[in-house]
């Protein structure tokens, strides 16, 4: 374990942390604790790099993973939101680099980042009416007659 | 001065559809930039869920035709980690060789493209000529110039012969000489200096705040390189320097890439001189147990990040890819603010954008009342060249 | 007589418009590589142009993504007759490896008529030049392939 990892685990003591292997740390939190946890990473560990945000449809709910990077250690915050209320707090105020990743979540899974300054389509066409492609129950829209 | 909005979109002037960039101008100065991408959005992540891991090898490679190998290394590393297997050392060396050959071809390619953007077409011709040496080496070993199909889960599919090893070393000698020439050009050539020095400034604090990656941030003095920070393949063994400069401008990004060419050559020489013998692949099961894995590599453009969630079947449950160009887009917005319109092409080019996403046509918006005027990237490039020529700098 | 002159001019130096319709760039790079000194398509009089209004030949790559479909149609419509379309690469020909992905339409010919296909993923620069020469030869013979 590197000194960075030791430091990280020290700071995160008390939180539900899982060390998958060297340089891979996961923290699972309920969505109400997302901002608090992100702030710990930012303020106490001085993390600035957000690699990306992954999200997936687990079937019963939507899981969102925030991947941060500090000296080669990937720290992932795992949280979930229900499909009936697919919202999450934006982290753009703490990590401006999240601005495009949150737009992508919205496009492909319908997860709405509350408070995002500029939520518009990122990768799907503006006239897309086909729903959220990365949802498990998604079906391709009917092809219109050309 | 009257504020003007310039939408920059793909392809043709007469189209009113969503654009890549909308630039708000005040006179000739850029005030704000708005990004819209998606022109190469194919739906690969979803497609991967309906293909087996073996089939996905070929799909992942084609996320991008320039950093294709970085993607496939991430993919195979992810699957191998969940399977809990270690690939043979010789396979690791061969993967590292291809990763660095890809960096070489990509950096030479970029130098040519950057030259073209500022009207220095001779540079384009020379660098792409040199790049052909790398393409020949890639083809010699893998059978293809682009999309090498070298990896399989558990190792690599083709081996290096002694003949290949020697040819790679010869290629490195030649390329080192050529890189020396480009280093001189980058530092001394007036055309490049005029267009690149103090252009597209990205302060270190902004580079970090916006989570930018690759040579773009290394030119702002940030020492981050996944090969060193979170070593993968053979990088823990190969000696190399992480190249940074602190000029924070386009010139810095040119210098970083040219110097990285030397480092890649150094790594490749080490690999070829210390290539271990042995197997190149281990057998793996088709089904991948429940699990998840993260792999990231330092692609030529920066951190390429992949996440895998597996579910016990032959197909992935979820696969996520974040390419380096996407990570740099917020930084591009920051760099473009306050610059001249004439500098837009080279600043955008300096993050080494994956051309597909950035196939550039610019829509120039002139305030709310006037309709947008769309100009294509080629015209903007010529505008930039002419603008500088009028101020005394000829290519 | 004018027709013959124009045909001659067109065959001697076709003006090419290149359009990426969602490709991974592999083919696009090889198209550019065909122009460098080693192969130099300009020897055959091939010139890359920016605007559809001056183009004779539209060289397309990529499975047509939903975002690019309308653009492709419009660029094609903007080109003056007679016009020719060449598809470079597997995904432009049939959707290739992306076949079935939600973001793609399929091959270029699902949107506009195509005169020539140059297969490969990507095809080598020499194959691309070879395909273009074959197209020129067929134009010389009298029009469509």
Query: CB burial class (10 A; 0-12, 13-18, 19+) of residue B140?
Result: middle
- What pLDDT does residue B17 have? 37
CB atoms within 10 A of CB C37: 12
B37 closest CB neighbour out of A50, A67, A122:
A122
pLDDT at B372 over 70: no
CB atoms within 10 A of CB C1: 5
- Check if A65 contacts B (Cβ < 8 Å): yes
Q: How far apart are CA B188 and CA B157, in angstroms?
A: 44
Tokens of A146: 């050309």
Q: How far apart are CA B26 and CA B375, in angstroms?
A: 17
Q: How far apart are CA A135 and CA C40, in angstroms?
A: 48
Could B211 and A121 be called an inter-chain contact, meaning their C-beta atoms sit closer than 8 Å? Answer: no
Chains near B with 3+ CB pairs less than 8 A apart are A, C
- What pLDDT does residue A1 have? 75
- What pLDDT does residue B386 have? 85
B129 φ, ψ to 5°?
-65, -45
Sheet (strand C84-88) strand order: C47-49, C15-20, C57-61, C84-88, C116-118
Only one residue has tokens 């597997």, namely C90
Closest of C24, C48, C19, C50 to residue C36, by C-alpha: C48
HSE-up of B179 (CA within 13 Å, CB side)? 27
Only one residue has tokens 């160009």, namely B325
Contacts with C67 from chain A: Cβ below 8 Å: 125
Query: Alpha helix locations (H) across B84-221?
Result: 89-117, 121-142, 162-188, 190-196, 204-209, 215-218
Alpha carbon of B13: minimum distance to chain C alpha carbons (Å): 9
Look up residue B220 and give its DSSP letter.
T
- What pLDDT does residue C39 have? 58
Tokens of B217: 């941030």
Tokens of C74: 């419009």
Q: How far apart are CA B39 and CA B9, in angstroms?
A: 10
| Closest-approach residue (CA) in chain C for A146 | C111
Report, as an integer, the average pLDDT of B60-76.
92
Tokens of C130: 């070879």
Q: How far apart are CA B362 and CA B372, in angstroms?
A: 10
Assign residue B101 a region: left if phi > 0, alpha if psi is -120 to 50, beta otherwise?
A: alpha
- What pLDDT does residue B13 have? 33
- What pLDDT does residue B174 have? 97
- What pLDDT does residue B119 have? 81
Closest of B158, B152, B169 to residue B85, by C-alpha: B152
B38 closest CB neighbour out of A23, A51, A124:
A124
pLDDT at B207 over 70: yes
Q: Give all domains of chain B, ordered by start, each with its CATH number.
A: 44-349 (1.10.645.10), 362-395 (no CATH)
- What pLDDT does residue B360 have? 41
Q: How confident is the model at residue B11 (pLDDT cuts 50, 70, 90)?
A: very low
Is residue C122 reached through a cis peptide bond, with omega within 30 degrees of 0 on the bond before it? yes
Q: How confident is the model at residue B12 (pLDDT cuts 50, 70, 90)?
A: very low
Percent of chain C with pLDDT over 90: 27
Report, as an integer, the average pLDDT of C46-73.
81
- Is residue A124 within 8 Å of A131, Cβ to Cβ? no
Q: How confident is the model at residue C137 (pLDDT cuts 50, 70, 90)?
A: confident
Contacts with C21 from chain A: Cβ below 8 Å: none
Chain C positions contacting chain B at CB under 8 Å are: 19-20, 22-30, 32-33, 36-38, 50-52, 62-63, 65-68, 70-71, 74-75, 78, 91, 97-98, 100-104, 121-122, 124
Contacts with A96 from chain B: Cβ below 8 Å: 209-211, 330
Kindly report which listed range (A61-65, B194-198, C52-56, C74-78) carries the lowest average pLDDT score. C52-56
CB atoms within 10 A of CB B300: 26
A127 φ, ψ to 5°?
-95, 15
- What pLDDT does residue B356 have? 45
> Which of A123, A125, A129, A133 should one mutate to test binding to chain C, selecting the residue with the greatest count of C CBs within 10 A?
A125
Contacts with B328 from chain A: Cβ below 8 Å: none
Q: How far apart are CA B148 and CA B169, in angstroms?
A: 20
Report, as an integer, the average pLDDT of C118-127.
93
Could B330 and A97 be called an inter-chain contact, meaning their C-beta atoms sit closer than 8 Å? Answer: yes
> Which of C102, C103, C111 should one mutate to test binding to chain A, selecting the residue with the greatest count of A CBs within 10 A?
C102
- Check if B317 contacts A (Cβ < 8 Å): yes
Tokens of B56: 């996905």
Look up residue C42 and give its DSSP letter.
G
Percent of chain B with pLDDT over 70: 88
Q: How far apart are CA B134 and CA A123, in angstroms?
A: 33
Chain segment C60-82, per-residue pLDDT in tens:
998 998 888 888 898 899 888 88
Only one residue has tokens 């007589």, namely C1
pLDDT at C141 over 90: no
Tell me which of C142 and A109 has the higher pLDDT. Answer: A109
Q: How far apart are CA B13 and CA B35, in angstroms?
A: 18
* 3-state helix vs strand vs coil in chain A, percent to 5: 25, 30, 45
- What pLDDT does residue C7 have? 62
pLDDT at C114 over 70: yes
Contacts with B17 from chain A: Cβ below 8 Å: 126
Could A76 and B294 be called an inter-chain contact, meaning their C-beta atoms sit closer than 8 Å? Answer: yes
Work out whether strand A73-82 and strand A61-70 pair parallel, antiparallel, or are unpaired: antiparallel
Contacts with A130 from chain C: Cβ below 8 Å: 102
Could A133 and C102 be called an inter-chain contact, meaning their C-beta atoms sit closer than 8 Å? Answer: yes
Chain segment B220-254, per-residue pLDDT in tens:
999 999 999 999 999 999 999 999 999 999 999 99
Kindly report which listed range (B95-109, B171-185, B380-394, C80-94) carries the lowest average pLDDT score. B380-394
Alpha carbon of C86: minimum distance to chain A alpha carbons (Å): 23
Chain segment B279-297, per-residue pLDDT in tens:
999 999 999 999 999 999 9
Tell me which of B19 and B190 has the higher pLDDT. Answer: B190
| Closest-approach residue (CA) in chain A for B357 | A123
Mean per-residue pLDDT of chain C:
81
- Is residue B107 within 8 Å of B218, Cβ to Cβ? no
Contacts with C19 from chain B: Cβ below 8 Å: 11
Closest of B380, B382, B268 to residue B20, by C-alpha: B380
- Check if B337 contacts A (Cβ < 8 Å): no
Report, as an integer, the average pLDDT of C45-69.
79
Contacts with C103 from chain A: Cβ below 8 Å: 124
Could C102 and A130 be called an inter-chain contact, meaning their C-beta atoms sit closer than 8 Å? Answer: yes
Look up residue B1 and give its DSSP letter.
-
Q: How far apart are CA C37 and CA A70, in angstroms?
A: 45
Tell me which of B123 and B264 has the higher pLDDT. Answer: B264
- What pLDDT does residue C5 have? 52
Domain locations in chain A? 3-114
Report, as an integer, the average pLDDT of B122-127.
88
Reduced to 3 states (helix: H, G, I; strand: E, B; else coil), residue B32 is strand
- What pLDDT does residue B363 have? 43
Only one residue has tokens 């003591």, namely A13
Report, as an integer, the average pLDDT of B155-159.
97
Contacts with B111 from chain C: Cβ below 8 Å: none
Tokens of A103: 């737009």
Query: CB burial class (10 A; 0-12, 13-18, 19+) of residue C26?
Result: buried
Tokens of B302: 């920066």
Reduced to 3 states (helix: H, G, I; strand: E, B; else coil), residue A2 is coil
Q: How far apart are CA B260 and CA B176, in angstroms?
A: 11
Kindly report which listed range (A7-11, B28-32, B200-204, C112-116) carries the lowest average pLDDT score. B28-32
Taking 70 as the pLDDT cut, the residues of chain A under it are: 142-146
Report, as an integer, the average pLDDT of B309-327.
95
Stated as kind and residue range, the H or E segment containing A131 is: none
Q: How far apart are CA B175 and CA B108, in angstroms?
A: 10
- What pLDDT does residue C34 have? 82
Stated as kind and residue range, the H or E segment containing C33 is: helix C26-33
Alpha carbon of C67: minimum distance to chain A alpha carbons (Å): 6
Q: What class is the A3-114 domain?
A: alpha beta
pLDDT at B219 over 80: yes
């Amino acid at each position: 374990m590197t000194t960075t990892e030791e430091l990280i685990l020290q700071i995160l003591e008390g939180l539900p942390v899982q060390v998958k292997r060297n340089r891979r740390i996961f923290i699972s939190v309920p969505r109400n604790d997302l901002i608090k946890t992100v702030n710990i990473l930012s303020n106490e560990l001085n993390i600035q790099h957000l690699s990306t945000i992954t999200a997936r449809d687990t079937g019963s709910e939507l899981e969102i993973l925030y991947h941060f990077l500090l000296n080669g250690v990937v720290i992932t915050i795992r949280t979930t939101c229900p499909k009936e209320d697919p919202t999450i707090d934006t982290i753009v105020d703490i990590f401006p680099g999240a601005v495009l990743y949150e737009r992508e979540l919205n496009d492909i899974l319908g997860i709405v980042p509350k408070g995002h300054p500029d939520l518009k389509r990122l990768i799907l066409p503006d006239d897309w009416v086909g729903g959220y492609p990365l949802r498990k129950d998604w079906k391709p829209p009917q092809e219109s007659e050309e | 001065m009257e504020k003007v909005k310039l939408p920059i979109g793909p392809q043709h002037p007469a189209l009113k559809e969503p654009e890549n960039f909308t630039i708000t101008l005040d006179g000739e100065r850029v005030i704000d930039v708005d990004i819209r991408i998606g022109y190469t959005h194919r739906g690969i992540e979803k497609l991967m869920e309906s293909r087996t891991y073996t089939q996905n090898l070929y799909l992942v490679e084609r996320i991008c035709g320039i950093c294709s190998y970085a993607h496939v290394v991430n993919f195979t590393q992810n699957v191998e980690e969940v399977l809990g297997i270690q690939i043979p050392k010789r396979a690791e060396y061969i993967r590292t060789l291809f990763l660095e050959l890809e960096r070489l071809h990509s950096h030479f390619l970029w130098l040519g493209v950057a030259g073209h953007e500022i009207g220095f077409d001779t540079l384009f011709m020379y660098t792409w000529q040199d790049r052909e040496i790398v393409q020949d080496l890639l083809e010699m070993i893998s059978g293809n110039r682009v999309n090498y199909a070298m990896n399989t889960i558990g190792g690599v599919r083709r081996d290096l012969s002694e003949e290949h090893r020697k040819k790679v070393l010869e290629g490195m000698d030649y390329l080192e000489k050529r890189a020396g020439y480009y280093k001189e050009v980058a530092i001394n050539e007036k055309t490049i200096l005029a267009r690149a020095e103090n252009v597209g400034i990205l302060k270190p604090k902004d580079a970090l705040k916006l989570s930018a990656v690759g040579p773009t941030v290394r030119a702002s003095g940030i020492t981050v390189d996944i090969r060193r920070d979170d070593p993968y393949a053979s990088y823990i063994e190969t000696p190399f320097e992480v190249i940074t400069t602190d000029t924070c401008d386009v010139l810095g990004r040119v210098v970083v890439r040219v110097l990285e060419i030397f480092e890649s050559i150094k790594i490749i020489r080490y690999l070829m001189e210390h290539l271990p013998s042995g197997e190149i692949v281990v057998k793996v099961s088709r089904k991948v147990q429940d699990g998840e894995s993260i792999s990231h590599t330092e692609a030529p453009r920066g951190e390429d990040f992949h996440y895998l969630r597996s579910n016990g079947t032959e197909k992935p449950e979820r696969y996520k890819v974040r390419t380096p160009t996407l990570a740099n887009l917020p930084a591009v917005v920051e760099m473009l603010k306050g610059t001249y319109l004439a500098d837009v092409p080279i600043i955008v080019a300096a993050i080494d954008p994956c051309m597909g996403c950035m196939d550039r046509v610019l829509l120039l918006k002139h305030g709310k009342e006037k309709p947008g005027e769309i100009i294509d990237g080629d015209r903007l490039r010529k505008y930039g060249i002419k603008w500088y020529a009028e101020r005394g700098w000829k290519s | 007589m004018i027709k013959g002159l124009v045909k001659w001019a067109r065959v001697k130096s076709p003006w090419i418009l290149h359009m990426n319709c969602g490709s991974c760039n592999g083919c696009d790079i090889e198209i550019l590589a065909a122009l460098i000194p080693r192969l130099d398509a300009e020897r055959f009089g091939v010139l890359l142009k920016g605007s559809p209004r001056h183009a004779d030949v539209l060289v397309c790559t990529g499975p047509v993504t939903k975002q690019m479909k309308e653009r492709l149609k419009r660029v094609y419509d903007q080109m003056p007759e007679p016009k020719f379309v060449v598809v470079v690469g597997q995904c432009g020909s049939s959707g290739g490896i992306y076949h079935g992905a939600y973001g793609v339409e399929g091959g270029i010919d699902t949107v506009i008529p195509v005169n020539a296909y140059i297969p490969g993923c990507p095809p080598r620069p020499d194959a691309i030049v070879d395909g273009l020469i074959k197209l020129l030869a067929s134009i010389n013979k009298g029009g469509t392939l």
